[in-house]
């Protein structure tokens, strides 16, 4: 993989949901503490900066209206998986988030998905939390499991998208979704936090990527790997300064965004963006 290829920006299309009703009212991951108050106005400003940053890089950003009573709907990445116009709907593990799946599928249907001549929409029969655990890597799909997504989703992914699936087991509850421990940066290049995976999964990643950037503890612990890359620019939490320097040294252009308020629910830039392929 040459640096020239690595630095090629690819225009993307994203779906985001404003955090109008964002709150931490329950605890379904180790980051969430209902006793730690949320500043909704600050969360909105951080989200708006993320959206504006993605748009400034030339990407298309759509928004889905938030639904009252769904405080985690801001984490759009969990809403579905969209590849080549086909959609696999999410099926959330926890009851508090389960209504989000219908809201996202409704938006996708209203915007042409599942219509005649468009890609199919499939409602998952097993637990899966969308792009939180499902990552498209060109010729294959990576599927994280261990906390929030069922390992058997691999069969659904292959049936719908016609691509092989590599399963990765997550073993640290702080990194409960694959997108908290792995960021695909460009063809053949990814950043990851090795302790979040079991031995077999680390071997799988080593065999798939020509270059793996290992995040340090202090950067992983601020969800620095919950990043959005377009092949050249990498938007990540600004608190992950060490990882930003590693990315710059590898030829990427890191762009730090303060997502500290969304971090109170275990979220970052990637959690807030669902890519529409």
Task: List C-alpha distances in Å: 118 to 74, 82, 89, 102, 111.
Answer: 26, 12, 16, 19, 10
Task: List C-alpha distances in Å: 20 to 17, 65, 83.
Answer: 9, 9, 28
CB 78, CB 105: distance < 8 Å: no
The structure tokens listed for 194 are 């090795």
Q: Going by C-beta distance under 8 Å and a sequence separation of 6 or more, which residues neighbour residue 62?
A: 13, 14, 15, 16, 111, 276
Task: Catalytic residue, from 59, 145, 177, 233: name it.
Answer: 177
Active site residue 17: no
Other beta carbons within 10 Å of 276: 18
Q: CA–CA separation, 203 vs 206, rounded Å?
A: 5
CA nearest neighbour of 155 among 171, 147, 143, 146: 143
Q: CA–CA separation, 262 vs 252, rounded Å?
A: 25
Active site residue 233: no
Strand order of the β-sheet with 253-257 is 228-229, 233-237, 253-257
Q: Rounded to an integer, what is the distance from CA 8 to the centroid of its chain?
A: 21
Task: Catalytic residue, from 17, 59, 271, 272: name it.
Answer: 271
**Residues carrying an active site annotation:** 177, 271
């Amino acid at each position: 993989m040459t640096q020239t290829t690595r630095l090629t920006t690819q225009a993307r299309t994203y779906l985001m949901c404003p955090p109008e009703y964002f709150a931490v009212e329950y605890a379904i991951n180790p980051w969430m503490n209902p006793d730690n108050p949320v500043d909704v106005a600050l969360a909105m400003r951080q989200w708006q900066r993320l959206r504006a940053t993605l748009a400034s890089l030339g990407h298309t950003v759509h928004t889905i209206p938030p639904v009252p009573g769904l405080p985690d709907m801001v984490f759009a990445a969990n809403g579905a998986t969209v590849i080549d116009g086909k959609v696999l709907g999410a099926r959330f593990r926890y009851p508090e988030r389960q209504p989000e799946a219908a809201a996202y599928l409704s938006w996708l249907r209203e915007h042409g998905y599942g219509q005649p001549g468009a890609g199919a929409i499939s409602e998952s029969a097993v637990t899966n939390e969308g792009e939180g655990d499902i990552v498209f890597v060109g010729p294959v799909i990576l599927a994280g499991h261990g906390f929030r997504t069922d390992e058997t989703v691999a069969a659904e992914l292959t049936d719908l998208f016609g691509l092989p699936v590599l399963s990765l087991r997550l073993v640290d509850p702080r990194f409960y979704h694959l997108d908290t421990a792995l960021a695909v940066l460009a063809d053949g290049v990814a950043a990851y936090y090795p302790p979040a995976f079991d031995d077999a999964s680390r071997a799988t990643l080593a065999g798939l990527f020509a270059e793996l950037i290992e995040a340090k503890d202090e950067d992983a612990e601020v969800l620095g790997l919950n990043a959005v890359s377009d092949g050249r620019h990498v938007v990540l939490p600004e608190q992950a300064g060490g990882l930003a320097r590693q990315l710059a040294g590898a030829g990427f252009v890191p762009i730090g965004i303060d997502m500290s308020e969304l971090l109170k629910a275990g979220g970052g830039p990637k959690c807030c963006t669902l890519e529409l392929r």
